[in-house]
Structure 1
Amino acid sequence: MSDTVIATHGLRKAYGAVTAVDGIDLDVRAGDVYGFLGANGSGKTTTVRMLLGLVLPTAGTVEVLGRPIPRAGREVLPRVGALIEGPAAYPHLSASANLSLMDAAGPGGARRGRGQRIAEVLDQVGLGGVGKRQVRGFSLGMRQRLGLAGALLRRPDLLVLDEPTNGLDPQGIHEIRTLLLDLNRTGTTVFLSSHLLAEIEQLATRVGVLDRGRVVLQDDLATLTAPTGATVVRTPDPARAVRELGDRVLSAEGDRLVVRGSEPAEVNAVLVGAGVPVSGLALDRPTLEDVVLAAAAGSGDRVAA
């Protein structure tokens, strides 16, 4: 079996004269935590809905777990857990009852062991103590956790999540992040659509950036944020440091200097030997925000953080 979990080729969706997704090629591999970034309105949710066969593309193809979508949907979708555009639930029913209906309604749902699976996923998402409560009393964050529990019911090979931390407080965001990383370590591929750069940077192994319906960047996060070959120096005496280092200084802002050379110990030795105090040293590497903004500038487009 191919290690490609999601592949799209020339995927396009138009609504009349409006093109929501414009010929994108996605490459998501087994074991990825794939961060799908883009501003609200960039086409992320439309793309996710096409991946799951909920919207038919105007042009192009979609393969999920090696099978064409939507044609092989009944075969593939039982192996995919999804949370799109916020959780849906019957407010007058309990969390457990909602999950039971969700499992029964989907293709391949099996009654045997359902109660145990529901208890397990409620515990996983931090709702173990409230499974019998009516959903109408749940906060937005609790509803989001319930939606994620629904996505986990079938122990999926692939999780497709659209803004899964929406409505969660910082502690909840940390818990969901830990859960997703644990699931990934045990073999689940995660496709995570979000507009939050900082959150994706803490989770993703691979990143795709969508802007105005087009992919402007797609690569491994480690490659995108690799060291630049320079060293960041922090010193309470930047003027002296600049004099000592001369044309090796690539930029200086306040107490922060970026210096040519990827050996912090060597830079430190030069400065300390000249009597210049050093308060910090690190390899220079771009943040994901730096990379995304540069890609957007290079394409003439705009990507909101």
Structure 2
Amino acid sequence: MIRTRGLTKRFGRIVAVDSVDLDVAEGDRFGFLGPNGSGKTTLVRMLLGLVHATAGEIEVLGKSMPRNAAKVLPQVGAMVEGPGAYPHLSGRRNLAMFDAAGPGGGRRGRADRVESALAQVGLSGVDRRPVSAYSLGMRQRLGLAAALLRAPRLLILDEPTNGLDPKGIREIRDLLVALNEAGTTVFLSSHLLAEVEQLCTRVAVVDRGRMVLQDSLAALLAPTGHVLVRSPDAAQVVALLDGQVVARDGDRLVVRHADVAGLNADLVGRGLRVSGIEAERRTLEQVVLDSTGASGDRIDGPTGGEDR
């Protein structure tokens, strides 16, 4: 559905996207992650033909972009850098205008398309008030409704749950899963790593414009080969498992062992108490921090003077 090779974008001397190879397969729920300023939005804009690449190749829906934008974009729903809308018009009027402006946007069926999109995002009861009176969460829902007007094969979303409360986040997550199960490929960027961890099947991480990681979520969060053990008899466990305990914090031990059940049976069989035991797995947050570093968009160092 999305394929890039050596994709690069320079703004003068600044390299915003640096030789990125991206592969999004049909049916993926794909999370695109990275710190602020890592090049995520620039890459998304290149996928949609909004920014032209300095070098490299882009394919969307199997066709070269931006050369085939007129054929590709009618099959793509997108929301990038926040939802766009005319603030003095109502949500329904905005969607009707978006529908009319798109290719093939005839009047026949327009009202049904607008109502269906509003219902999907939880805005079916919206009144005639202008968008300027909407909350941020309502604007996000309206932007997503605009992306869904044409029942797209591919959804490209930038921070789709920004401004939503926990209930709204769950509703949008459930909607994206349902759309995906019905055949829509979902590609989204987000800073909500816990949400991506619940929603996505594959992820990629960029840092300073470079792709640093791309894999299935199941592979990234697989057991590490260590077991987390809690025991009131921690000192005896350390003595028994000579060399296998790699870390200890009070009654919590990290043990190098591949078989959770076997380790538990061994400890209990030797009369040692086990209050908790499980395979160690990394969180998505740990995966991202390990691949990008923890500095994010901080700028540390002396103040004043010239930039270096």
For the aligned pair, the TM-score class normalised by the smaller chain equals over 0.9
Moved more, 100-109 or 155-164: 100-109
Aligned partner letter, 2:11: Y
Distance 1:178 1:93 in 2: 29
Equivalent position amino acid for 1:238 in 2 = A
Secondary structure of the structure 2 residue equivalent to 1:160: strand
Aligned partner of residue 112 in structure 1, secondary structure:
coil
1:219, CA displacement in angstroms?
Answer: 0.9
The partner residue of 2:49 within 49, 53, 60 is: 53
Q: Quick one: which of 7, 11, 31 aligns to 1:11?
A: 7
Aligned to 2:172: 176
**Alignment-derived partner of residue 238 in structure 2:** 242
Q: Give the TM-score of the pair, scaled to structure 1.
A: 0.93
**Which residue matches 1:30?**
26
| Equivalent position amino acid for 2:39 in 1 | G
| C-alpha distance in 2 between matches for 1:89 and 1:31 | 29
* Paired residues of 2:36 and 2:296 also in contact (CA < 8 A): no
Kept after mapping to 2: 8 A contact 1:90/1:135: yes
Give, in angstroms, the shift of residue 23 of structure 1.
Answer: 1.1
Q: Tell me the CA shift for residue 246 of structure 1.
A: 2.3
Give CA-to-partner distance per residue, 1:218-273, whole Å, 9 cap, x none. Answer: 11111111112222222233223222322221222233222222221111112222
Q: CA deviation at 1:114?
A: 1.5
Change (3 A) 1:277 1:131: farther
Secondary structure of the structure 2 residue equivalent to 1:267: helix
Q: How many residues align?
A: 298
**Among residues 200, 205, 227, which one is paired with 2:223 in the alignment?**
227
Aligned pairs for 1:104-143 (under 5 A) are 104-143=100-139
SS at match of 2:106: coil
> What stretches of structure 2 of length at least 5 have no aligned partner?
299-308
1:184/1:236 Cα in 2 relative to 1: closer, same or farther (>3 Å)? farther
Amino acid at match of 2:152: P
2:255 counterpart residue number = 259
Gaps of 5+ in 1: none
Which of residues 74, 78, 91 in structure 2 aligns to 1:78?
74
Deviation at 1:161, TM superposition (A): 0.3
- Identify the match of residue 217 of structure 1 among 208, 213, 221: 213
State the 1:24 CA deviation. Answer: 0.6
Amino acid in the other structure paired with 1:220? S
**Structure 1 partner of 2:83:** 87
Corresponding residue for residue 146 of structure 1: 142
Judge which range, 154-163 or 175-184, deviates more.
Answer: 175-184
TM-score by structure 2 length?
0.92
2:4–2:20 Cα contact (<8 Å) kept: yes
Counterpart residue identity of residue 87, structure 1: P
The answer for the alignment partner of 2:271 in structure 1 is 275
What CA deviation, in whole Å up to 9, does each residue of 1:158-182 have, x standing for no partner? 0000011111111111111111111
In 2: Cα distance, 1:118 partner to 1:238 partner: 62
Aligned to 2:187: 191
Structure 2 Cα separation of the partners of residues 6 and 88 of structure 1 = 24
The question of whether the paired residues in 2 share the 8 Å contact of 1:9 and 1:60 is answered with yes
1:61-72 to structure 2, matched below 5 A, reads 61-72=57-68
Residue 291 of structure 1 corresponds to: 287
SS at the partner of 1:25?
strand
How many Å apart are 1:131 and its aligned residue?
Answer: 4.9
Higher deviation after alignment, 101-110 or 51-60:
101-110
Is the Cα contact below 8 Å between 2:4 and 2:21 reproduced in 1? yes
Partners of 2:34 and 2:288 within 8 A in 1:
no
C-alpha distance in 2, partners of 1:161/1:111? 27
**Secondary structure at the residue paired with 1:122?**
helix
1:156 to 137, 152, 161: 152
* Structure 1 residues 183-219: Cα deviation after superposition (integer angstroms, max 9, x where no partner): 1111111111122322211111111111111111111
Q: Deviations over 1:92-142 (max 9, x none)?
A: 211111011011112232322111121111111111111533212110010
**Residue 37 of structure 2 contacts residue 297 of structure 2 at CA under 8 Å; is this kept in 1?**
no
